A and B are shown apart, each in its own frame.
Chain A
Amino acid sequence: MMESLFLVILILTMAFALASGYPVAFALPGSAILTIGLAALAGQLIEADPDAYFSHGGPVQWLNAGVTNFRGIYWEVERDTLIAIPLFVFMGIMLERSKVAEDLLVTMAQLFGPVPGGLGIAVVFVGALLAATTGIVGATVIAMGLISLPVMLRANYSRSLATGTISASGTLGQIIPPSIVLIILADQLSNATDQASTLRQAEYREATGRSTMPSEFDITSTSAGDMFLGALLPGAVLVGLYMAYILTLSLIRPRTAPPVPFSGAFDYRFAGKVALALVPPLTLIFLVLGSIIVGIATVNQAGAIGAVGALVMAGYRLAAGRRGAYVPAVLAIGAMVVLAVLLSVHEINVKNIDGRDDVVALLIASAAVAVLLFAVCWSAWRAHRIDRTLEGVMIETAKTSSLVFIILLGAAMLTAAFRAFGGEELVRDFLTGLPGGFITKFVVVMTVIFILGFFLDFIEIAVVVVPIIAPILLADTTANVTAVWLGVMIGLNMQTSFLTPPFGFALFYLRGVAPPEVKTTQMYLGVVPFILLQLAALAIVGLFPSLVNYLPNRVYLTSETSPPPKNPRLQACLELYLFEEYERERPRLTAAIARARTIDTSYLPDRHRRALAESIDAAAATFDMIARVREAEAARVTVAEAYRPLHREIRALRVEARRLRTEMDRLRTALRRLPDDAVSRRLELAARIDSIEGAVRSIDARLPQNFAEAQKRYRALDAAEQKARRAYRRNVDDAYEGVAALREVIADAGALAALEGMLRDLPRVVRSLLPKEAMQHLRGVQSEVGGVAGANHIRSKLSAARRALRGKTPDMAKAEREIGLALRRFEAEMRWRGRAAAALLPELASFDAAIAGTIGLRQRDRLTSDQAEEIAGCQAVHRDISLSF
C-alpha cells in the first residue's frame, strides 16, 4: 500500500544519503524527516489529508515522537548506562596518547618473540588488552598496524598471517569488555526486552485466555554490566582460538611465524621493564572489570576508575626519564592502599560518625582522599603541560562521544519514521512468516546484520537494526533466548563482518597504515582463517548459551541484591537442583525426621506440640510430594513429545491467520478511505481482500481436528503438574516454618524473662493509678509483651484487663483478675520455655540444620554460594516454554 511505498522511499533515501558519504548521524534523521515531509505533502495533495499515507498517526505526531526519542537519550534516568561511554573513551584515548599502550605492545613482543609464533600471540594478547581499554575498532587496528606490523614483517612473518592477526585482534574490542558496542547493545536490548515482554504477554493471553503471564515466563533483560559479564567467556574463547591457531601454524609451518631472537639480555632490568609496562595496565583492567564483576561498582563508576587510573599512568609515562616521574603514581597507590586497609578494618559512614574510632577513621580517610586527589591533579597537570596531551585527549573524547551519541539521536528519529510507515509490522510479519521457527528467523537476522556490517559501523547497526528485530527474536518462546546471549551473538557477528573482505572495516583501516609491499590480496588471504575461527566461536557460543549466560546469572545470584530462593523465576531450576539433592540426602533426612519424632515434647503447650508434630509430618511427607511431582511431570513429558509438533504446526497456522487478518483490516481501512470515483482501485482492493479471506478460511480448514482434544489433554496434565508442585512448595514451607517458629519462641525466653519485674509489679501499679492512667500503663506493657515471640496469649489477658477499666464504670476487680491470669500464663510460659531452652532447642537446631539446605531452602533469605552456582548453571540454559503458550 501507499505507506509501504513511502517505507521504500525512506529506505532508498537513507541508502542514497548513506552511500553519498554524508555523515551518518545526519543522513539517518535527515532522510526520516524528508520522507515524512514527502508523505505528508503527497497526502495533502492527493487525498487532501496529510495523515493519509501513514500507517497510523500523522506527520507532526511522528516527528514529535522522533524528537522525543531524540531527547530521551539523555533525558531518561534509565539510560544512564550510556554515561559510561565518554568515560571509557577517555580512558582508552588517554592510554593510547600517553604511549602506555604502545609500551605494552613492544614489551610483550620482546618477551614472547623468541617462542615460535610468539610474536603473533603477543599481538593477539595485546590486542585483547587494548581492546579492553579502548573498545574502538578503528583506533586499535590503526595503532597495532602502525606499531606491530613493521615488527612482524621485519621478523619475516608471512604477510598474510601478520595482517590477518592484526585485523582480527583489532576487532576484539567489539566483544571484550568494557566495549562501547556492548554498552550500546545493552541500552538497545533493554528497550527491546520491554517490547518483547509485551508481545509475549499478548501471546500468552491469546493462547490461554488468562490475563496475566506468570513471571517465570518473562524474558531475562540485560544491563551493561550483564553484557560485560556475558561477553567475558566468549571473548576468552575467541582469544584462545586465535592463539591456538597461531601456535599450531607456527609448529606446522615454522616459516610463516618464525621465532624472533631478542637482542637484549633477559636480565633484571628487562624484567623491571616488562613489569612496568605490563603490570599497571593489567591492574587497571582487572580493577575496572573486577569491580563490575564482583558487583561493587556500577559500570559508570568503573569507567571513572578506569579514566582516573589511565590519567595517573599517563602522569608517569609522559614524564618518563624526569626526576620524580613516579611520585604522583606512588602517592596515588599509597593513598589507595591506606584506604583499602582502613576500610577493611573500619567502615565509615559520614552521616553517622559516633565515637573516637569513627573520627580517627574519618580523618585518615579524608587525608588519604586528599592525597589521592592531589596525585590525580598532579598527573592531570603533567598531562596538560607535556605535549598538551590532556587537551588532545579531551577533544578526542568529546569528538568520539559526540559521533557516537549524535548517531544514537539520529537513529531515534529514523526509528520513529520507520514505525510511521508500518515498517516494524512489516519486518515482524516477514520474520514470523518464515518457516522453520526460531532458527530460520535467527539465521536470517544474523545474515542481514553480517551484510550490513560491510557498509555500516557497529553503532548504526546496533541502533537501527536491533530495536526492530530484537523484540521479535526475544519474544520467541521455543528458543526463549536471553537478551545477553542475543547481544553477544550480535556483537560476535558484527565483529566477523568487519573482518570479511572485500568490505570489512578493519581491513580498510589496516590498508590505510600498511606499507605498499603488503598486497591487498595477501591481507584478504590472511584474514580468512580468522573468519573461520570467528564462525567457529559463533557456533560454539550459539550451541552453548551457558558460556554467555552463566556469569551474569551467577553474579546476580551471589550478589547483595540476589533474589530470595522463593522467587518464582528461580523455582524451575531450584526444584531441579533440590530434587536431586533430596535423592542424595534422603537417608540423612529420613534419619533426622525419625530422630525429631522421638523428641520429648510432652511438656510443651498443646498448640506448640501440635504445630511441631505437623511440621515434622510435613517434612516426612516431602518425599511423597516429590514422587507425585515426578509422576505428574513424567505424565506430561510423555504427552508433550507427541503434542509438540502438533502445537508448533497449529501455532504457525494461527500466527499466519492473525497476520492475514491484520492485513485484511488494513486493506479494509484503506478501502473505506478511497474516494468513490477511484473505481479500478476499489475493485483491486476488494479482490485482494477476497483472496485473503479465502486464505484465512483455508487455514481454518487446515487446522487439525484432533488439536482441541490434544490441547485439552496436555493442559490438564500441565495443570496437574503445577498443582503437584504448588502442593510440594506449600508442604515444605509448612514443614520448615513450624520448626523455625518454635525455635524463635524458645529463643525469645530471655526477652520474656526480662519482662518479669514489670509484670509482677503490675497489680500494685494498676491499683495505685487512676483507671485512665492504668489503661495507659497497661497499653505500654502490652506492647512490650507483644514484642516477644509466642506471647500473644499473655498479651490478650492484659488487653482484657485494660478493657475492664474502660468506660464509665471501670471494673478494677475484674482487671486484677485478668492480670492474675496473665501472670499465671506468664509463669507457665517461663517454665516450659526454660526447660525447652535446655533440652529442646539443641534438638531443634540440629533438625533445622539437617533440613535447612533442602526442605527449608525456600524460606531462607539467600542461596549459599554452592547452590547459587548450581542454580546459575541451570538458569543459563535456554528453556523451551512454548507449550505453555
Chain B
Amino acid sequence: MSVPRPGTQALRAFALSTAAVGILFPINNYLIFWRGWPGVVPLLDGRAPLLSWLQLGFYLAAVALAAAFVVGSPARRLTADADMLSAVAAYVARAAFWAVLLVGLADMTISFLRVEGLLVDLVGPELAESLGRSRYRGLYVHYPLIWIAFLIAMLTRAIGFAWLAFLIVLAELQIVLARFVFSYEQALMGDLVRFWYAALFLFASAYTLLHEGHVRVDVLYTGFSSRGKAWTNAVGALILGVPLCWIVLALGMWNKANLINAPLLSFEVTQAGYGMYVKYLMAGFLIVYAISMLMQFLSQFLSAAAVLFVEPDEGGESR
C-alpha cells in the first residue's frame, strides 16, 4: 500500500464535493420553486433572508462533508471512490426505472379506466373527478409511487432499466393487437411507449458509459497506451462531460419558466386530451440523466486519475 499523495486527495475531494453539490442542486431547486424558499442567488445582493444562508449552508456542508470524508479516509483508493460514484449513478437509474415502471402501469390503468368511463363506477364520481386533474394525480398517485420506487431501488440490485427494452416491445405489441384485432386505438397507448422509450435511453446512458458502450472515434484511441487513454478519459470527463450535466441542470432549473421546472411545476400533460398524465415527468428524466451522468463522469474521472497518479502496479487493478 503506497502512501497517499496530496494530489490524489485533492482530486477525490473535488470529485466527491462536485457530486454532493450536484445531488443537492435539484433538492435546493425543489425547496425554491415548490416550497418558496429564496435560494442562494439573493446573497449576491447582500440583503438575503435567513433561509438563503441556510441553503448556502447546505452546499457548504456538502463540500465540507466530502472533504471530511476524504481526510478521514486517507488510504482509500481513487478506484474505491469511483466505484462508489458508479454505485450512486446506478442507484439513481434503478430508482428512476422503478418509478417509470410503477407510474407507467398505474397511470395507464387510470387513464384507460377514465377514457372508457369506468373510473366513476370504480372509485365514485368525486375521486374520478380528482383523478382527471393532472395535479391531483401527480401529487397523490405519481409521487407516492416514486417514493416507493426509491425504496425498492434500495432493496434490489438488478439492473432495472434494461427491462424497459422489453417493456417497450410489449407496449408497442399491445398497440398492434388492439389496433389490428380489435380496432381499438387510444392516445394513452402511444404515450406509454414514448414514456418508457425516453426513459430507456436516458437512464441507460450512465451504464453505457461505464461499460464502454458509447462510440469513440478510435482511429487514434486504439493506439494509445493505457496512460494515454486515461488522459483522454480524465480530461474528457472533466471538461466535456461534467459541464454538459451542469448546463442541463442549471438551464433546466434556473427559474420557474425553464424547461425542466416549467412542466414539472404545472404537471404538464400531452395535448392529446385523453392520454396519460405523465409528460411532466419526462422533463424530470433530464434530471435523472444529468445526475446519473454527473456521477458517472466523476467516476470515470477518478478511475482515469487512478491510472495516471498511482504507481503502475496499482494502476493495473483499476478498470
Contacts and interface: CB of A to CB of B under 8 A. Distances in A.
Interface of A: 17-27, 29-31, 33-34, 37, 60, 63-64, 66-68, 70-71, 74-75, 77, 80, 83, 86-87, 90, 296-297, 300-301, 303-305, 307-308, 311, 339, 343, 347-351, 362, 365, 368-369, 372, 376, 380, 390-391, 393-395, 397-407, 410, 413, 455-457, 459, 503, 508
Contact of A22 (B200, B205, B232): B232
A90 B165 contact: yes
Interface stretch (B30-38, B49-57, B211-219, B306-314): B211-219
B162 A394 contact: yes
A21 B216 contact: yes
Most buried by B among A26, A70, A397: A26
A664 B1 CA distance: 67
A26 B208 contact: no
B181 A369 contact: yes
B40 to A, nearest CB: 18
16 contacts: A17-B240, A21-B221, A23-B215, A30-B241, A33-B247, A63-B251, A71-B259, A75-B282, A83-B197, A87-B172, A307-B173, A394-B163, A394-B166, A398-B201, A402-B207, A403-B214
Contacts of B270: 77
A401 B200 contact: yes
Contacts of A404: 201
B109 to A, nearest CB: 17
A456 B217 contact: yes
A349 B178 CA distance: 10
B215 A24 contact: yes
B214 A398 contact: no
A271 to B, nearest CB: 33
A304 B196 CA distance: 14
Given A63-B247, A365-B181, A68 B201 contact: no
Contacts of B127: none
Nearest to B201: A405
B208 A402 contact: yes
A303 B173 CA distance: 9
B143 interface: no
A497 to B, nearest CB: 14
B201 A67 contact: no
Nearest to A93: B165
B194 A30 contact: no
Interface in B158-195: 159, 161-166, 168-169, 172-173, 175-177, 179-184, 190, 193-194
A298 to B, nearest CB: 9
A21 B224 contact: yes
A29 B166 CA distance: 30
A21 B248 CA distance: 23
A629 B13 CA distance: 82
Contacts of B283: 71, 75
Contact of B182 (A86, A348, A393, A459): A348
A503 B218 CA distance: 11
B236 A20 contact: yes
B299 interface: no
A598 B198 CA distance: 70
B288 interface: no
Contacts of B272: 77
A401 B183 contact: no
Given A348-B183, A457-B215, A23 B168 contact: no
Contact of A31 (B173, B214, B217, B240): B240
- Across the A-B interface, the 8 shortest Cβ-Cβ residue pairs: A30-B240, A21-B221, A22-B236, A304-B172, A23-B214, A74-B198, A405-B201, A399-B213
B204 interface: yes
A403 B214 CA distance: 5
A31 B233 CA distance: 15
B194 A34 contact: no
A398 B200 contact: yes
Most buried by B among A17, A399, A407: A399
B243 interface: yes
A60 B251 CA distance: 8
A30 B236 contact: yes
Interface in B230-251: 232-233, 235-237, 239-241, 243-244, 247-248, 251
B29 to A, nearest CB: 15
A71 B252 CA distance: 10
Contact of B229 (A21, A63, A75, A339): A21
A398 B159 CA distance: 11
Given A90-B169, A300-B172, A369-B177, A30 B251 contact: no
Contacts of B217: 18-19, 21, 24, 27, 455-456
A833 to B, nearest CB: 40
Given A70-B248, A390-B166, A394-B165, 11 more contacts: A20-B221, A22-B233, A26-B236, A30-B244, A74-B285, A311-B169, A393-B165, A398-B207, A402-B207, A403-B214, A407-B215
A402 B211 CA distance: 12
B122 interface: no
B75 interface: no
A397 B198 CA distance: 14
Contacts of A349: 182-184
Contacts of A402: 200-202, 204-205, 207-208, 213-214
Nearest to A348: B182
A351 B185 CA distance: 10
B162 A395 contact: yes
Contacts of A304: 169, 172-173, 175-176
Nearest to A18: B217
A637 B297 CA distance: 65
B220 interface: yes
B286 interface: yes
Contacts of B243: 30, 33-34, 37
B182 A455 contact: no
B139 interface: no
